[in-house]
Amino acid sequence: MNQLEDMQTFVRIVEAGSITRASEQLNTVKSAISRRLAELEKRLGVTLLTRTTRSQTLTDSGLSYYQQCLRIIEDLAEVEASIKDKHCSFAGTIKISVPFSFGLKHLAPAFRQFNQAHPNVLFNVDFNDRKVDLIEEGYDLAIRISTLADSTLIARKITSVSPVLCASPAYLKQYGEPKTAEDLNQGHVRLRYNLMPEAWQLVSDSGKTVVVKSPVVVSANNGNYLCEEAIAGRGLMFGPDFICYEAIRAGQLKLLLCEQLRNQTTNAYAVYPHTRHLSQRVRGLVDFLADYFGEKPYWGIYS
Amino acid sequence: MNQLEDMQTFVRIVEAGSITRASEQLNTVKSAISRRLAELEKRLGVTLLTRTTRSQTLTDSGLSYYQQCLRIIEDLAEVEASIKDKHCSFAGTIKISVPFSFGLKHLAPAFRQFNQAHPNVLFNVDFNDRKVDLIEEGYDLAIRISTLADSTLIARKITSVSPVLCASPAYLKQYGEPKTAEDLNQGHVRLRYNLMPEAWQLVSDSGKTVVVKSPVVVSANNGNYLCEEAIAGRGLMFGPDFICYEAIRAGQLKLLLCEQLRNQTTNAYAVYPHTRHLSQRVRGLVDFLADYFGEKPYWGIYS
DNA sequence: TTTAATTGTTCTCTTTATGTGAACAATGAT
DNA sequence: ATCATTGTTCACATAAAGAGAACAATTAAA
């Protein structure tokens, strides 16, 4: 009995579409394949494949077994490969969807570093702020900065992201520095990120949500552009810390209403289909990212 | 070459502590085991086990290979077992931590139904509202009604949970029916769930967060008890829909401020350690729960 | 230090399992 | 109805794995 070889043979029969073609692909004769399949079915006590001379159909059990065989064979190959070059280096493609700004600015360097340790991993990155269908489009995983709303996916936290409100010193000189959330509605102008609701919602000292609706002077679907506009003193910027942190540290932007916003932290998640089996390299990447950014990422400005 | 048998042999050698003992346990002779190990190492091109006549030590590669062997062998056994009794019945223990009220009221019947389909699964359920350490305490998974804050865990959405505000008709007759969130702060009394902040936060029509601080007449760490108190007309109940839905449908409690609360939906998640390999039965249970409750669970009262 | 016991390795021989190819049966297209 | 193609079964050949003995290596006890 050779379970693994049985599995490989079965997979080949299914994919080749016939015992004869499978035997050709496996460089043997059809009798051997026929016997293997018969013995496998006998051992499992289940018919996997209903076959006539001209056609074959998978039974329910057969389909289930086929899928599980694929997974285990891949698993086993990965184990052998990872042991063989014992540096535990990964190989293969990782197809990933990432948010535009976060991806370019923070994930790209992380991927590069991962690639140095695992040069045989080929990244296929889709920079995109829309929520792609991971399953339909065959992604291995996606990075998302929002909560999980889909029960076909599973999520793992990668790091923390906090909202910041900021403006350039020149702007603050001209428009005055807001001391409370309520101040934002009077005599201020805003830079708006397209893909979020037009009105901002902040929590004031007293715990009330304040809806900010002051005029929008620039509107865009790119946070970095808005950040540059903020540095140029065009208006108030309300966005994630990972976009503005450098300008804030450099003094080009001044942080506003820290106390109200520091507790509004959200998370960045790695999400992937719950059905798909996580390959070593994808699991390795997620582990790497969680470690690379950590609970307190380098862009953190509250603390 | 028989990869799987090689793996099983290697695992046995490691666990038995010597080739001789392994050979006894495998009902064969030491020469066979010795040769198998030698050939495995030759094939992998790595020394797995540094051995003298009296002792053996795993190399780094050996330890890694050993752990992966365990996983694959278990995997394979599960696949064969699940195909053999083709109803895809699972077997083994599932150790799970669940929230107290949600667990007793909604998960328990779900587990029972799962058990009817898979009678060989033994549930080991911990009803507990504290966040147990899944890894430390060896849980297979937990059900949580909150967002994921731990990067060592992964989450999958099981169903939706919405907050409801309600009170008995008798209470409303006596205290008047609140029409806005602001009304709650005047002339009302509250039933309080211990494990949440004392003040309630609701969003008013205008989008403002209203902090409710009216007097608390009953305080408890059990939602069902609070619900009964609410039915008895003791005060306002603010809790998850899955606790109050029956009383609401029976007319014992009247739903308040629906429009403000219907969009505050949160989720229930299945969470488990990202390191642990998900066994078929645990994966099957999670799939079952996601399907059992669904996106619009039976306790839903909005919509 | 020597000896004895135990363990792992290597060798040959044997057994078992698997591959081989021909003959046969079954099926569907022409 | 015929024929080409496919799957199955069989006896046989081959290769791989097991068995057991002999040997080498190591360590504990004398």
User: Does the distance separating the beta carbons of B209 and A269 come in below 8 Å?
Assistant: no
**Cβ-based neighbour number of residue A50 at 10 Å:** 11
Report domain extents, chain A. 3-84, 91-160+266-293, 163-261
Q: Please list every residue in chain A whose beta carbon sits closer than 8 Å to the beta carbon of residue B290.
A: 151
Residue B160 in this model has a pLDDT that exceeds 90: yes
In CATH, the number for domain B91-160+267-293 is: 3.40.190.10
- What single-letter DSSP state applies at residue A76? H
Structure tokens given for B138? 């060896």
Quick check: B56 CB within 7 A of strand C? Answer: yes
pLDDT band at B112 (very low <50, low <70, confident <90, very high): very high
| A83 → closest Cβ in B5, B61, B211 | B61
Residue A165 in this model has a pLDDT that exceeds 90: yes
Q: Which amino acid is at A286?
A: V
- Torsion of Cα atoms, A51 then A56 then A57 then A63, to 10°: 100
- Mean residue pLDDT of chain B comes to 88
In CATH, the number for domain A91-160+266-293 is: 3.40.190.10
**Tens-place pLDDT, residues A190-220:** 999 988 888 898 877 766 778 888 999 999 9
Q: For chain B, what's the residue count?
A: 303
Structure tokens given for A91? 């190989």
Q: Which of A30-44, A125-139, B223-237 has the highest mean pLDDT?
A: B223-237
Distance CA A283, CA B276 (A): 12
Distance CA A162, CA A266 (A): 6
Fold matches, A3-84 and A163-261: no
User: Does the distance separating the beta carbons of A207 and B209 come in below 8 Å?
Assistant: yes
**Tens-place pLDDT, residues A74-93:** 888 888 888 876 655 677 88
pLDDT, position B207: 65
Q: Are A256 and A168 in contact (CB under 8 A)?
A: no
Q: Which residues contact B186 (CB under 8 A, 6 or more apart)?
A: B214
Backbone dihedral angles phi then psi of residue A40, each to the nearest 5 degrees: -60, -45
Structure tokens given for A270? 């790695």
> If you count residue pairs, one on A and one on B, with CB atoms under 8 Å apart, how many are there?
128
| A208 → closest Cβ in B2, B68, B211 | B211
Q: How far is CA A183 from CA A188, A203, A271, A283, B206, in A?
A: 8, 12, 38, 46, 18
pLDDT band at B106 (very low <50, low <70, confident <90, very high): very high
Interval B62-90 mean pLDDT: 81
Q: Please list every residue in chain A whose beta carbon sits closer than 8 Å to the beta carbon of residue B61.
A: 83, 86
CATH 3.40.190.10 correct for B163-261: yes
Q: Which of A29-38, A146-155, B96-105 has the highest mean pLDDT?
A: B96-105
pLDDT band at B196 (very low <50, low <70, confident <90, very high): confident
- What single-letter DSSP state applies at residue B183? G
Distance CA B242, CA A268 (A): 29
Q: Which residues contact B284 (CB under 8 A, 6 or more apart)?
A: B88, B90, B118
Closest-CA residue to B282 (of B78, B94, B97): B94
Rg (CA), chain A: 27
Distance CA B294, CA B54 (A): 59
**Tens-place pLDDT, residues A95-110:** 999 999 999 999 999 9
Closest-CA residue to A212 (of A243, A241, A187, A175): A187
User: Does the distance separating the beta carbons of B75 and A72 come in below 8 Å?
Assistant: yes
Structure tokens given for B58? 């795993």
Distance CA A175, CA A169 (A): 10
Which CATH architecture fits B3-84?
A: Orthogonal Bundle (1.10)
Q: How far is CA A177 from CA A166, A169, A173, A181, in A?
A: 10, 9, 7, 11
Distance CA A204, CA A182 (A): 7
Q: Are A26 and A33 in contact (CB under 8 A)?
A: yes
The residue in chain B having the minimum alpha-carbon distance to the alpha carbon of residue A161 is B149
Q: Residue B188 class from Cβ within 10 Å (0-12 exposed, 13-18 middle, 19+ buried)?
A: middle
Q: Residue B174 class from Cβ within 10 Å (0-12 exposed, 13-18 middle, 19+ buried)?
A: exposed
Distance CA A81, CA B265 (A): 46
pLDDT, position B99: 93
Distance CA A282, CA A272 (A): 10
Which DSSP string corresponds to A30-53?
HHHHHHHHHHHHHHHTS--EEE-S
